[in-house]
Amino acid sequence: MQTFLRANYRSGWLIIVYPILIFLTVLIGFPLIIYFGLEWESTLWLVTAIISGFVLGLVLSLTTYPIFLRQSRRQYGEIGLTSQAITWRAEGALRAVRRTQTISFTQPYRARLLAGEGDQGQPGFMLEISAGKSAIALYWQGISWADLTDEFDAPDFVDELTISSSDGLVGFDLDGSQPLERALLDTLLGILWQTRQNNQLYTSYLQQIALEV
């Protein structure tokens, strides 16, 4: 029976979709209210309302974003891992549990590795895995580029990570200092290395190196 690790999950609805909807609602709604609701039907009022709606929508989006970000820290999901596949399920924006999704490592997949300090100046590592319509992103805080080479011995394949989890990355948020969460990383990196021939991004990377030589 597969064991699932419970971890924080940041929903894209909360930290991307909802702030954008607030911005668009104000940007479109404010001019409509001014132009049609108040019947100030003149080009000058319409232009003024559009500019005002843009500024107001931007301010509201920025001021409410920290609220959505705090709410995202209350969401959780579960990750399961075997030598052949990674499985996960997570809470949606309304706290409903999504269906279980799986990506097989025995079939073609795409895995991207990113490491860096981000805007916050704290080391972190992000792994993005996708296959077909399924995709998962996992972020480990406290993990540097040097921590990866023992399990995944291709340092040039690792891209630069320019943002951190606290900036609002969508996906699972994990702590590299926690034994279980660090063990998940080490095991997953080992599996990705063993199945790297199925990683379409890695095979493209090898082909690029061959062309340069």
For residue 103, what pLDDT is reported? 96
The residue among 72, 94, 119 that closes a domain is 72
How far is CA 189 from each of CA 83, 94, 98, 182, 193, rounded to the nearest angstrom? Answer: 11, 32, 26, 11, 6
The whole model's pTM is what?
Answer: 0.74
The residue whose two tokens read 């190196």 is: 209
For residue 129, what pLDDT is reported? 96
Give yes or no for a contact between 26 and 56, defined as CB atoms under 8 angstroms apart.
yes
Residues 17 and 90 in one domain: no
List the helix and strand counts (H, then E) for the chain: 5, 9
Beta bridge partners of 173: 8, 139
Domain count, the chain: 2
Convert the pLDDT of each residue in 17-68 to its tens digit.
778 888 888 888 877 777 666 665 667 777 777 787 888 888 887 887 777 7
pLDDT band at 130; cut points 50, 70, 90: very high
Residues 20 and 92 in one domain: no
How far is CA 79 from each of CA 9, 25, 73, 121, 167, rounded to the nearest angstrom? Answer: 10, 35, 17, 27, 22
Structural domain of 92: 76-212
pLDDT band at 97; cut points 50, 70, 90: low
Determine, yes or no, domain membership for 62.
yes
Residues 32 and 100 in one domain: no
Determine, yes or no, domain membership for 6.
no
For residue 1, what pLDDT is reported? 44
Measure the CA–CA gap between 144 and 129, rounded to whole angstroms: 19
Residues 112 and 174 in one domain: yes
**Residue that wins the pLDDT comparison between 130 and 163:** 130
Tell me the average pLDDT of the chain: 82
Measure the CA–CA gap between 29 and 152, rounded to whole angstroms: 51
Give yes or no for a contact between 123 and 144, defined as CB atoms under 8 angstroms apart.
yes
Measure the CA–CA gap between 53 and 33, rounded to whole angstroms: 10
Kindly compute the dihedral angle of the four CA atoms of residues 169, 171, 174, 176, in this order, to the nearest 10 degrees: -70
| Cα torsion angle, 27, 30, 36, 40, sign | negative
Residues 22 and 109 in one domain: no
For residue 166, what pLDDT is reported? 61
